[in-house]
Amino acid sequence: MKFSVNREALLRPLQQVAGVVERRQTLPILSNVLLHVANNQLSLTGTDLEVELIGKVPVSAEAEGEITVPARKLMDICRQLPEKAEIGFEQRDQRLAIRSGRFRSTLSTLAAQDFPSVDKNQHELTVTLDAKALKSLLDKTAFAMAQQDVRVFLNGMLLEIGAGEVKAVATDGHRLALSSVVLDSIVGAVKQVILPRKGVLELQRLLQEVDGDITVAISNNHLAATSGDFTLTTKLVDGRFPDYERVIPRGGDKVVLASRDELRQALGRTAILSNEKFRAIRVGFSDGVIQLSANNPEQEEAEETVSVDYQGDALEIGFNVSYLQDVLGVISGEKVRITVLDSNSSALIDQPEDENAVYVVMPMKL
């Protein structure tokens, strides 16, 4: 294998692919990236056995072949080379020689045939949608995924495709986020799959670099997202996601309309003196205002009143302030709407001008 490539052309896909590779691996080869050169094209593949990312870049190849090299070391070398540098690679026995200007180095290698590949079955469903729409879908819901929950399916995200739309749902048992995008091209029965946490995070990271459309293909145990020179494949979580429709509270008659920025800033100030472990905050509703208050074991207190559009009975509810802040952090509109039934019911949060995203936050006992 022998080829040359421009630093900038190589660095972008290499950084994306290396991001999938875990620093600490039980198998040494999983710390490597697979380099495959054929038809003047270099394919870079990284995997942790759950997520696989393939990036492609055109190169000037003198000899084709494939080999694996340490992903982090290769990326760090490319980063340190001057901008617009031309980099030459040549396989020499069990080493990969790298040359650029006056720089010379050799990297250790492992055989390409030992590199694990994600088993891919025949796709059952394929859809194409705007990459920015998919990124928005994930960004509005990913924060609500659980972390290291024994219920493995909560550590990921439900993707529901069918009936003319794509939905993303995430919950950790204390809050829920749901977002949807209309896709008229989707017909037929609704299909639900659960993406693992890392698959969601890597897809979000990849979509930052993608313009135009992205194709999502689903098999019985994998999802593959392809756009331009990248293909991300992730295993699916085997499990049954909770019935999210039952979690969404209906019939709330107390509706608060507030400025998102004002409420977010007030929560940030009040939260400073909340209990660091439980993050509890007291939210009082009364005519025209919301009163926020928090205290901690050191007997420190904070409170603030925010003017809102609300006429109704006085009500007081406890919430985890971090959950409220997370919701207000992904809502983009100027106004936020909070709907509740009573002090023991979950709050339904959305924005009046966007019916495609809703959030549920359970109350806390104070």
Q: What is the pLDDT of residues 150-208, one digit of tens each?
A: 999 999 999 999 888 999 999 999 999 999 999 887 767 789 999 999 999 999 999 99
Strand order across the beta sheet in which 354-361 lies: 191-196, 156-162, 165-171, 175-182, 354-361, 347-351, 335-340, 254-259
What is the pLDDT, as a whole number, of residue 123? 86
What's the distance, Cα to Cα, between the start and end of the chain in Å? 66
What is the pLDDT, as a whole number, of residue 119? 73
C-beta of residue 70 within 8 angstroms of C-beta of residue 41: no
Dist CA 107 CA 261 (whole Å): 51
For 8, what's the count of Cα atoms within 13 Å in the CB-facing half-sphere?
2
What is the pLDDT, as a whole number, of residue 185? 79
The closest of 301, 309, 305 to 284, measured between CA atoms, is 305
At 246 the three-state DSSP class reads: helix
Please tell me the total number of residues recorded for the chain in this structure. Answer: 366
What is the pLDDT, as a whole number, of residue 25? 75
For 15, what's the count of Cα atoms within 13 Å in the CB-facing half-sphere?
13
At 208 the three-state DSSP class reads: coil
What is the pLDDT, as a whole number, of residue 266? 98
Q: What's the predicted TM-score (pTM) here?
A: 0.92
State which residues of the chain have pLDDT below 50: none
The closest of 310, 318, 353, 359 to 334, measured between CA atoms, is 353
Dist CA 44 CA 13 (whole Å): 8
What is the pLDDT, as a whole number, of residue 76? 97
What is the pLDDT, as a whole number, of residue 121? 75
Which domains are seen in the chain, by residue range? 2-114 (3.10.150.10), 125-246 (3.10.150.10), 248-361 (3.10.150.10)
C-beta of residue 50 within 8 angstroms of C-beta of residue 199: yes
Dist CA 319 CA 345 (whole Å): 11
Signed CA dihedral, 35, 36, 41, 45: sign only: negative
What is the pLDDT, as a whole number, of residue 84? 94
C-beta of residue 6 within 8 angstroms of C-beta of residue 57: no
- Bridge partners, residue 1, by sequence: none
What is the pLDDT, as a whole number, of residue 124? 87
What is the pLDDT, as a whole number, of residue 152? 93
DSSP string over 63-106: E-EEEEEEHHHHHHHHHHSPTT-EEEEEEETTEEEEEETTEEEE
Dist CA 15 CA 258 (whole Å): 41
